Structures are given as C-alpha cells and as structure tokens.
Chain A
Amino acid sequence: QKEVEQDPGPLSVPEGAIVSLNCTYSNSAFQYFMWYRQYSRKGPELLMYTYSSGNKEDGRFTAQVDKSSKYISLFIRDSQPSDSATYLCAMSASGANSKLTFGKGITLSVRP
C-alpha cells in the first residue's frame, strides 16, 4: 500500500461547479498536509498548508483534514477555467526530516 493515495482522475467539471479533491494516507506520523497546484510544463506551486486536523479556507479554496480517518480534501468553489491544472496532495511528519510525500496528482479540467 502506498503511503499516500490520490484519485487518479482525470476530472472534468463545468465552470462554477464545486470541486472536491481527496487523498488518503496510511502513515500516522503525518502532521502537515499540503496541496500543490501544477500547471502544464510548470513546477508545483503551494496552494494550501494545514497542520493537523481541521479546516482552512483561503478564498475559493478550503482544505480539510480528518486525521482519524486519514483523509484530506481540497474543495474549490465557483471553479474557473484558470483552475484547470494538476493538483497534488503532499504530507510530512514533524521533526527534522521533513521530506514531503506526494500523491500522484489528479488533473482537473474546468469547462467554460
């Protein structure tokens, strides 16, 4: 079993839809949870960063972490064509060895 599993997609939605992206993980040591957005032929860009369980909102984006279920989500409200990209979840444990473990990413397409 991989440490981080992410729905492979791809996902296509109409403009204005609410998008839900999810990851599950198996490593109980993970304390930090991130979402990265990667446009085609570009490097990943940090979108959201959450510590432990709970919700975090930033504009149209909401990150949710449920450590009891080892499940994280990213919600995008009022999705726009400019949101079309690959979204990767990433996680790390606390401590000095802070390597990130990434999901494989899901490609989202928002149709105008």
Chain B
Amino acid sequence: DSGVTQTPKHLITATGQRVTLRCSPRSGDLSVYWYQQSLDQGLQFLIQYYNGEERAKGNILERFSAQQFPDLHSELNLSSLELGDSALYFCASSPQLAGGREQYFGPGTRLTVT
C-alpha cells in the first residue's frame, strides 16, 4: 500500500458526460501528479500540482482540468467524454518539488466510456 488513495475504483459513463476523479496523497506529500494509462499510449503524464498550485502540464486535453485543495487532495475533472478517454487514471504523490523522482502511485481509477 503506497499511502495514496483514489476514488472511485471503477467508473462507467456515457459519451458526452463529465466525471470527477479524486486523489488523496500520502501524508506530508505536497506534490500530486495525474497520469493516464492506456494500452496503446502507455503511462502519460497529465498534470502536476504542488501545494495547491499548478506546476507542470503534460499531454492534458483542454476537456480535462484538475485542482489541488488546501487539504492537499486533488481532483481531476474530465468533461465531454469520448470513447478514447477510456483508460486507467493514476494519481501519484511525491515529497519533493525539485525532485519528484520518487513518486508513489495510487491504485488508479478505471474509466470506461460507453
């Protein structure tokens, strides 16, 4: 158990809908990272937050957004969902800002868009 929690574990929704994925980092970790994992693309970095502020952006679509709250939990919002958004979404946390090499992953949320 990494100490990172994610809810829900599974999510099934229809195209065009909006969903929110939630992540609680390990106690004391200030950085949160979101990743998308699909069979064809592998694990893709989406976005990083550090202590409530956005720090880095990766391959995140404009339909996706995220935020980190004062209690350090983070939410990833996915809207206007398409079939291709079906994937595993992972959250990771890390205790260092400049480092971030040691990232601890949560169990993931499996999103299925029908």
Interface of B is mostly: loop
In the complex, A44 has a CB within 8 A of chain B: yes
Q: Within residues 28 to 45 of chain A, which ones have a CB less than 8 A from any CB in chain B?
A: 32, 34, 36, 42-45
**Contact string against A for B residues 33-45, beta-carbon threshold 8 Å, 1 for contact and 0 otherwise:** 1000000011111
Quick check: B105 and A32 within 8 Å, CB to CB?
no
Which of B13-21, B64-72, B78-86, B94-102 contacts its partner? Answer: B94-102
Are the C-beta atoms of B100 and A45 separated by less than 8 Å? no
Residue of B nearest to A42 (CB): B107
Inter-chain residue pair count (beta carbon < 8 A): 63
Decide if B105 touches A43 in the complex (CB within 8 Å): yes
Partner pick for B100 among A36, A43, A92, CB 8 A cutoff: A92
A49 with B42: CB separation less than 8 A:
no
Q: Is B103 an interface residue (CB 8 A)?
A: yes
- A residues 67-112 touching B (CB-CB < 8 Å): 88, 92, 94-105
Chain B interfacial residues counted at CB < 8 A: 27
Q: Which chain B residue shows the least CB distance to A43?
A: B105
Choice from A49, A97, A100, A102 contacting B55 with Cβ under 8 Å: A97
B24 close to chain A: CB less than 8 A: no
Contacts of A88 in B (CB 8 A): 42-43
Known: A43-B90, A96-B98, A102-B45. 4 other contacts (CB 8 A): A45-B105, A98-B99, A100-B103, A102-B42
Q: Footprint of B on A, CB under 8 Å?
A: 32, 34, 36, 42-46, 49, 88, 92, 94-105
What are 16 A-B interface contacts by the 8 Å CB criterion? A32-B101, A34-B101, A43-B90, A44-B90, A45-B105, A46-B102, A46-B103, A49-B101, A88-B43, A96-B97, A96-B98, A98-B96, A98-B97, A99-B45, A99-B48, A105-B43
